[in-house]
């Protein structure tokens, strides 16, 4: 045990912590989703505290957010002492990459163990190890993201002194656990484009020199609000969107800033947009507003498994495209395994986003009819445009709620051999999953960015006769607690439970 840690013993450790309390803890274990575990001893046994984004061996300052009888959930405020397993890295630490000091192989080992445990506990797969196929690493452990959002604030958290500075001009990421304080990014974070982040300081100095103020989050006033950058790895180009309010707009020379970007980043800036957004609602999307293209193009083009995708500022696109290729290849292996050629079949790509999976599928089949469905109209518009760009006419895209779509098109019931599912983090609503099951597919390939909801949905699928045959984990987001999963389910009539058995 760390010599600085005071291990508290009390008759009833439940009484040791209160909601809102700040407490120093030693992290001794690790659970799914990047939850470090600390324990407080008592005569009645250990009281467990989960602290998000921590790692075994760290000594941390945490705040109790939720208190239950047997455990508490805490928010990390500060790492006081690093784990002996952590190493020095040349990056500036940001709250979005809490494991940047943990060697990638160790991150992966912990992700695999804790994620498989979730399938055991939430999906009741005691034999998960036999179903587990592979752990797929991200091809790039660093600088893998293709989109980053930076915030301005006139309240700065100084990373050297740990002090709050008012009347500042900060540009970077929010200080851990706050929504008003920004830590200026002075060198790359290790997640996004190195050149862009290493020169962000120059961007900040340029904008500060305009004399216009950075946003004041509590007062909801100021001029500079955010910078959002999109990257195409294939073109090695950046698309920049500066989001400001309209107050002071006439004093801002967007064209001059555009020239500054061109000079600073050479030919790498594909386009520069200026968005004026006066919406101060907490949940408003930062990019919404009045957008004008100052120079260049409002899209970049990314290549994925040989196909081209136009990406605008608003489009949904996999954040780690190089790793997404590995994810999609594994999904394709699961689709085509055995002699599942899909020829002459109807294939559903449900929750299709910008239609990436459906398009990849269509390049590997002869005469399958592929149907993509997503609720976001703009995503479907992007999907159709990209399919055209790639010369693909075998995929039909529909903008609709998956549940409603399946009700409105009952003719597909019983005609579908294979379904690909890629729902959002919340998983699939039980009612919608019931409708998917009613389609009667032989095989379902289910991609998930949240294994805990996938494990839950796997239980519903099992009761309907779908056996999870294979599972792979893909590390789409190194240095975070997140992990992506892809599973192959096969219908087995002998597994279907009767009403009485249920």
Report the binding-site residues.
318, 351, 374, 422
**Rule CB under 6 A: which of 353-382 touch ligand SAM?**
353-354, 356-357, 373-376, 379
Residue 466: C-alpha distances to residues 48, 75, 338, 475, 494 (Å):
36, 38, 17, 26, 10
Sequence-distant (6+) residues with CB within 8 A of 73 are 49, 50, 52, 64, 65, 66
Sequence-distant (6+) residues with CB within 8 A of 140 are 320, 322, 323
Q: Which stretch binds ligand SAM (CB under 6 A): 60-68, 254-262, 286-294, 348-356?
A: 348-356
Q: For residues 74 and 384, give the distance between their C-alpha atoms in angstroms, rounded to a whole number.
A: 44
Which of 56, 403 has the CB closer to ligand SAM? 403
Which of 16, 392 has the CB closer to ligand SAM? 392
Which of 195, 401 has the CB closer to ligand SAM? 401
Q: Name the binding residues for S-adenosyl-L-methionine.
A: 318, 351, 374, 422
- Choosing from 74, 154, 352, 449, the catalytic residue is 449
Write out the two tokens for 404: 């409603």
C-beta of 403: minimal distance to ligand SAM in Å?
Answer: 6
**Rule CB under 6 A: which of 231-250 touch ligand SAM?**
none
Window 299-338: contact mask with ligand SAM (x via CB under 6 A) = -----------------x-x--------------------
SS3 322: helix
Q: Which stretch binds ligand SAM (CB under 6 A): 275-283, 351-359, 409-417, 481-489?
A: 351-359
Which of 6, 426 has the CB closer to ligand SAM? 426
Which of 151, 476 has the CB closer to ligand SAM? 476
Q: Is 74 a catalytic residue?
A: no
Phi, psi dihedral angles at 191 (to 5 degrees): -100, -40
**Rule CB under 6 A: which of 413-442 touch ligand SAM?**
422-424
Handedness of CA 128, 134, 135, 138 (dihedral sign): negative
Q: For residues 133 and 471, give the distance between their C-alpha atoms in angstroms, rounded to a whole number.
A: 5
Q: Which stretch binds ligand SAM (CB under 6 A): 12-20, 346-354, 359-367, 466-474?
A: 346-354
C-beta of 401: minimal distance to ligand SAM in Å?
Answer: 4
Which of 189, 365 has the CB closer to ligand SAM? 365
Write out the two tokens for 213: 């103020």
Among 142, 144, 252, 351, binds ligand SAM (CB under 6 A): 351
* Residue nearest ligand SAM by beta-carbon distance: 353
Q: For residues 94 and 85, give the distance between their C-alpha atoms in angstroms, rounded to a whole number.
A: 19
Sort residue 344 into left (φ over 0), alpha (ψ -120 to 50) or beta.
Answer: left
Q: Could you count the other beta carbons within 10 Å of the beta carbon of residue 338?
A: 7
Q: For residues 307 and 363, give the distance between their C-alpha atoms in angstroms, rounded to a whole number.
A: 9
Q: For residues 435 and 413, give the distance between their C-alpha atoms in angstroms, rounded to a whole number.
A: 9
Residue 303: C-alpha distances to residues 129, 362, 386 (Å):
34, 16, 11
Residues taking part in catalysis: 449
Residues that bind ligand SAM (CB under 6 A): 316, 318, 351-354, 356-357, 373-376, 379, 401-402, 422-424, 449
């Amino acid at each position: 045990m760390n010599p600085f840690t005071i291990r508290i013993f009390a008759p009833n450790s439940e009484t040791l912590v209160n909601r809102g309390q700040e407490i120093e803890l030693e992290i001794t274990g690790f659970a799914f989703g990047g939850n470090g575990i600390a324990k407080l001893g008592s005569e009645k046994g250990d009281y467990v505290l989960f602290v998000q984004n921590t790692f075994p061996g760290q000594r941390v300052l945490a705040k109790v957010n939720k208190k239950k009888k047997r455990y508490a959930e805490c928010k990390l405020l500060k790492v006081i002492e690093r784990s002996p397993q952590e190493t020095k890295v040349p990056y500036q630490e940001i709250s979005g990459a809490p494991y940047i000091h943990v060697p990638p192989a160790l991150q992966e080992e912990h992700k695999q163990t804790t994620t498989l445990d979730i399938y055991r506990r939430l999906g009741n797969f005691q034999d998960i190890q036999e179903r587990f196929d592979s752990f797929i690493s991200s091809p790039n452990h660093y600088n893998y993201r293709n989109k980053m959002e930076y915030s301005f604030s006139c309240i700065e958290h100084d990373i050297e002194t740990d002090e709050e500075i008012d009347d500042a001009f900060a540009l970077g990421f929010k200080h851990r656990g706050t929504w008003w304080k920004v830590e200026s990014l002075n060198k790359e974070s290790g997640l996004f484009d190195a050149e862009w982040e290493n020169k962000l300081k120059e961007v900040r100095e340029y904008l500060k020199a305009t004399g216009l103020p950075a946003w004041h989050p509590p007062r909801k006033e100021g001029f500079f609000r955010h910078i959002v950058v999109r990257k195409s790895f294939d073109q090695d180009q950046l698309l920049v969107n500066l989001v400001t309010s309209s107050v002071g707009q006439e004093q801002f020379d967007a064209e001059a800033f555009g020239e500054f970007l061109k000079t600073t980043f050479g030919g790498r800036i594909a386009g520069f947009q200026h968005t004026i957004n006066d919406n101060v609602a907490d949940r408003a999307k930062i990019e919404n507003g009045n957008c004008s293209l100052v120079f260049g193009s409002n899209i970049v083009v990314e290549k994925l498994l040989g196909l081209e995708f136009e990406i605008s500022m608003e489009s949904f696109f996999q954040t780690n495209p190089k790793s997404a290729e590995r994810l999609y290849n594994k999904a394709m292996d699961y689709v085509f395994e055995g002699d599942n050629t899909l020829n002459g079949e109807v294939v559903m790509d449900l929750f299709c986003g910008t239609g990436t999976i459906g398009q990849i599928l269509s390049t590997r089949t002869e005469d399958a009819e592929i149907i993509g469905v997503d609720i976001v109209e703009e995503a479907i518009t992007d999907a159709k445009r990209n399919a055209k760009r790639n010369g693909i006419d075998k995929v039909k895209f529909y903008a609709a709620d998956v549940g409603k779509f399946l009700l409105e098109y009952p003719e597909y019931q019983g005609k579908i051999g294979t379904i690909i599912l890629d729902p959002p983090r919340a998983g699939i609503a039980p009612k919608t999953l019931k409708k998917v099951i009613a389609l009667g597919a032989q095989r379902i390939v289910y991609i998930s960015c949240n294994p805990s909801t996938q494990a839950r949905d796997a239980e519903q699928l099992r009761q309907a006769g779908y056996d999870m045959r294979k599972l792979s984990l893909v590390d789409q987001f190194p240095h975070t607690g997140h992990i992506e999963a892809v599973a192959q389910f096969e219908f087995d009539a002998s597994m279907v439970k009767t009403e009485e058995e249920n």
